[in-house]
Structure 1
Amino acid sequence: MNVKNSSGLWVALLGGVLLWAGWPSSPLTLLLFVAWVPLLHLAETTSSWKRFFGLSYISLLIWNILTTWWITKASIPGGISAFLANSLIMCLPWLAYFFTRKFLNRLIAGLSLIVYWMTFEWMHLNWELSWPWLTLGNAFALHPNWVQWYEYTGVAGGSLWILLSNVLVHNVFLRYQEEGRSPGYFKLAAAWVLTLGVPVILSVLTKQNLTLEHNKYNVVIVQPNYDPWDTKFAAGKEEMQLQELIALSQKQMDANTALVVWPETAVPYAVLEDQLKENRFLTPLWAFLRDYPHMNLLTGLEGRRLFPTRVSRYAQKLPDGGFVEGYNSAALFDSATIQIYHKSKLVPGPEVLPAFLGFMGPLFEKFGGTMGGYARDTTGRVLQTANHTFNITPAICYESIYGGYLSTFNQKGANLICVITNDGWWGNTPGYRQHMQYARLRAIESRKWVARSANTGISCFIDPYGNIIQQLPWNRKGVLKQTVAAFVSETFYTRHGDWLFCMAAIAALAFLLFLLYKTFFRKRQSTQKTS
């Protein structure tokens, strides 16, 4: 390997390491404001698109592996496939930028990179193999005081902030190399400083304009702490788990407890959803609800429904000729009624696979999933407590990283976000910590309280500013109680969703059309010259 090739490789590695080093739960978030500069440098100094593609792929693969290595706890082949595929898709906006910059000045070309990348993030939020864990705007979850303006932009604003900073600092360095301390250099440097500082100032001003409300009703969240690989789904231990969930709940309940929240799949049985009241295994649960008629229970369960014919590709055929659909469900119970929501944003691999990847089903079946995949609700379903105290957004596990999707619940009158999850599959890794931190951004976007019940942790209450008010640590059994307000107002973001991503997609389309035109025009000129 010659010196030039070796230098490019080290630059690519540096970019991947910087992205990882600035990601939650690392405190080095500021690194992200310069973490893309190595790839911008490679785009500037590499003449071959194939070489640039290879170097950018290495950089993005390093970022994916170092930041989300813990997904291999589910399946090593599945995790490796995710690293390779996600890194490949991430290269597409960089390749589009590499070609676009040939026809535009550096600063305008840098703007094309911003909208290309944001369009990629938006698409990654909305297709079947969705994996928005590394959306750049998620990186500020550790610093809610920096991004109180997410109530207007959602995480798209954070992605724009990071990308714009990187484009500007790269241009500052290049301008200094070319012109020294020229007026142009100082203008770009000033623009970069303003880019870093103005959003923080806006965040402080936004927060000062908020007023928290209070009421007398409280919410109780339970963390049972069952190992999903060993205890939780072990045959013969279901009744013990259910009784312990009830006992833990009763430790903190009082006359003002309007809602108790149990984690994802807390009901340790696969149950027919239209026969819940007849299910003898749930007799202790119904007795518990009758003893506390003023209280509502939100719990996760693994639901089933029977059908005489196949109703979807997820329905599995039974020996009697009928079909059964499986769901990862959230159920709201009171002493008389049941409301059920089926998880809609499903985890690629364990919970859903496109038809062309169906052969990978056995790799994920043991990871709390099904061979055929779960069916889903096609729209957000607000769960309303019997006394009308809370209208609940039921975010089941992975769904809590979809700000735009959760905003649709707020548009329907939701006033409390309840996250129910089981992060024990990942073990004591950065995965569960990142997942909890992301929930803080949902609180800011919607200005709603978040009650988060996690099987093995971290269970917590998060206020509408994104501050963690109470929490239970990882791998500890416990219960929390918190008086929370039911906020009915909407934010700009919950009214309009991912509007900023949509605007970026329109701009990206314009850049791509320009790129196609210039490429076609240049080829036509070349043909005319040779003819």
Structure 2
Amino acid sequence: MPASCSTPTPLLYFLHYPPLPMSNPRFVLALTPLYRLLLAALSGALLSLAFPSHPDHPLAFLYHPLWAHCALIPLLLVLKDRGFKAGFASGWISGLVWNLLSLYWVAYTQGGGLAVVGGTGLMAAYLGLFTGLCTGLFNVLAARWGAKALALLPLLWTGQEYLLSLGELGFPWLLLGHGQAALPHFIQYATWTGVFGVSCWVVGLNALFYSALVGRRIFLAGVALGYLLPWVHAQSAMTTTVPTEGLRIGLIQPNTTYIDKWAPNGLERTFSALATLSRQAAKRDPELLVWPETAVPCDPVSRASCRGRIQALVEDLDIPLLTGAPHANYNAAFFVQPGATTLPSYAKMHLVPFGERTPYRDAIPLLRDIDWTRLTGDLGPAEFARGTEHAVFAHPRHPFAVLICFESIFPNLVRQHVAAGARVLVNITNDSWFGRSAGPYQHALINAMRAVENRTAIARSATTGISLFIDPFGRTYEATDLFTPAVAVASVPVGQPATFYTRHGDLFAWSCLLIVLVAFVARFRKPRAVSKTAEADHDLEAEYDPETDRDPRAEHDPEVDHDIEADHDP
């Protein structure tokens, strides 16, 4: 029912009354371990709501990227006046819940056996370590500088996200900035900072909201500025004239599964479906046809009949074709052109850990001897070889590069393709493993951030969907549905100048790490001798000691001390 006119709105209430009692250290100490756990888990749940879900999810209406702007507040309440261990544990719990709720679809792969389900849990626990490290280190800084350490939290978070993107175990899927790709009118500065700058912005908003909630309302001005500046910048950037020059691309979505392709007569059925859809697309005059990852279950290099069938179709349609296909021990892509005798190719450079290759098997010989299938019963990596070279295909109109499957989640890898000369990016993938889940929607959204970072359009062809086009500002169009045969034909703009991020890479993330390093050096330097006045002030403040987990202020005479709730009298 409508509220009475005399009832203050939530915003007026928030602005009128002084800080909540949560800012009182004794309130924080009063939280039981169960409440601490629940608040940490709540942050993880809110973070998961900031990433796409499947549209048919019963709670799909709750999912929105704006949740990320306040999701860390419950966690920050738990972290207040705690030590490294407690901070690490709380952050790990948040990260665990977040990754479990957002990446549940990983358990669908390889048939969803017990080993895969268990591996999904282990993956979430591993990824949660990065969140825990961030919050634990934050508490170390807060022990020295108190609330001022909040200014370093966005940099700490950015640093741990950057570390998460490195190495063979790197999996930067749930970077906070990736979820914000659904808000193109706020993220255009990623052309300077990359996705890590967007993540830093999100954590900064959380810190400002938290400070306003438990401290001074003046921080709301910072929140307003935090939204206004990127929005103004985006309005200016997105009114830039988009080049009229373009490349018309036809995306083929055959809707074939792994079983369809590798069963008896699978090659014949697969090629028939691809050829039928390609002929439909050819009627709309594309300049490039794109088939998805491992579209054909044969090696066009070693198997002449496979190459012959593809080449014959290309000659008949007189349209160049990019297709995914296996080659030797590589997950590869081939560029087939009318009248050409050569067959340019690209081999996937970043392989899915444990799905396509055992991480660090080259560096650690012991890992080469592990029989994962025998050990787990239903899970074994394919042990593909890694590609080593960026490939830019020389299309007659515009050069382009290909990203195979989850290579699109790695900002630096994609940037290097564009820096090598690609003017269009093509992502080919097979997301059929993830079923009707959030996975394909999350994967498609991440591509939008890569487009913004490099001001480069992306065409995405997925075996079972979602196939779509993304303009240089991260706006998507011509998206297909999941698990249905489809054709999408559209032009992508070409000709935007190289961005700062494309030219220089992750300078912003490196700068964040450097500042954090300097902060820790300052944190552990021996402090100067303090004056007697300062010592007296310190005695009056009686700061909480994270090592003993006790608050001296809580040891006052109970008859003099007030009740916790009495500290706040509205």
How does the TM-score come out when normalised to structure 1?
Answer: 0.84
**1:94-132 Cα shifts (integer Å, max 9, x gaps):** 11111111111412x123322222111111112110110
- 3-state SS, counterpart of residue 97 of structure 2: helix
Question: Could you tell me which residue of structure 1 aligns to residue 394 of structure 2?
Answer: 384
The yes-or-no answer on 1:302 pairing with 2:326 is: yes
CA distance in 2, matches of 1:148, 1:168: 21
CA distance in 1, matches of 2:356, 2:321: 25
- 3-state SS, counterpart of residue 472 of structure 1: coil
Residues 49 and 421 from structure 1, CA distance in 2 versus in 1: closer, same or farther, beyond 3 angstroms?
same
The yes-or-no answer on 1:260 pairing with 2:276 is: no
CA distance in 1, matches of 2:240, 2:208: 31
Q: Is residue 372–residue 379 contact of structure 2 (8 Å, CA) maintained in 1?
A: no
The yes-or-no answer on 1:327 pairing with 2:330 is: yes
Q: How far off its partner does 1:21 sit?
A: 1.7
Greater alpha carbon shift after TM alignment, 465-474 vs 424-433: 465-474
Q: How far off its partner does 1:441 sit?
A: 1.5
CA distance in 1, matches of 2:316, 2:195: 43
**1:419-477 Cα shifts (integer Å, max 9, x gaps):** 10000001000000110111112222222221110000011112222222212100110
Identity over aligned pairs, percent: 29
Question: Could you tell me which residue of structure 1 aligns to residue 88 of structure 2?
Answer: 53
Matches within 5 A, 1:480-491: 480-487=488-495, 489-491=497-499
CA distance in 2, matches of 1:102, 1:425: 46
Task: Report the RMSD for the aligned CA atoms in angstroms.
Answer: 2.5
CA distance in 2, matches of 1:245, 1:446: 31
**1:23-81 Cα shifts (integer Å, max 9, x gaps):** 224642222111111221111143x5433333322222111101111111122122122
Q: How far off its partner does 1:365 sit?
A: 10
What is the one-letter code of the residue matched to 1:199?
P
Question: Could you tell me which residue of structure 2 aligns to residue 193 of structure 1?
Answer: 224
Question: Could you tell me which residue of structure 2 aligns to residue 476 of structure 1?
Answer: 484
Question: Could you tell me which residue of structure 1 aligns to residue 166 of structure 2?
Answer: 126
In structure 1, list runs of 5 or more residues that go unmatched: 176-184, 305-325, 522-531
CA distance in 2, matches of 1:486, 1:365: 48
The yes-or-no answer on 1:4 pairing with 2:26 is: no
Q: Is residue 242–residue 268 contact of structure 1 (8 Å, CA) maintained in 2?
A: no
**1:141-200 Cα shifts (integer Å, max 9, x gaps):** 22222212222222112101111111122222232xxxxxxxxx2432211221122212
Matches within 5 A, 1:283-298: 283-293=308-318, 295-298=319-322
Question: Could you tell me which residue of structure 2 aligns to residue 37 of structure 1?
Answer: 73
CA distance in 2, matches of 1:263, 1:289: 16
Larger Rg, first or second structure (1 or 2): 2
Q: Which has the higher strand share?
A: 1
What is the one-letter code of the residue matched to 1:375?
A
Q: How far off its partner does 1:3 sit?
A: 6.0
- 3-state SS, counterpart of residue 214 of structure 2: helix
Residues 361 and 115 from structure 1, CA distance in 2 versus in 1: closer, same or farther, beyond 3 angstroms?
farther
Matches within 5 A, 1:309-458: 326-335=329-338, 336=340, 337-352=342-357, 353-355=359-361, 359=370, 361-362=372-373, 369-370=381-382, 373-385=383-395, 387=396, 389-458=397-466
**1:345-402 Cα shifts (integer Å, max 9, x gaps):** 22111012223555474379977951xx2222234221222x2x12112011101112
How does the TM-score come out when normalised to structure 2?
Answer: 0.79
Give the one of 73, 94, 97 matched to 2:135.
94
What is the one-letter code of the residue matched to 2:347?
H
Aligned length: 478
Q: Is residue 371–residue 380 contact of structure 2 (8 Å, CA) maintained in 1?
A: no
Greater alpha carbon shift after TM alignment, 52-61 vs 449-458: 52-61
Question: Could you tell me which residue of structure 1 aligns to residue 186 of structure 2?
Answer: 146
CA distance in 2, matches of 1:129, 1:240: 36
In structure 2, list runs of 5 or more residues that go unmatched: 1-29, 54-61, 110-115, 530-570
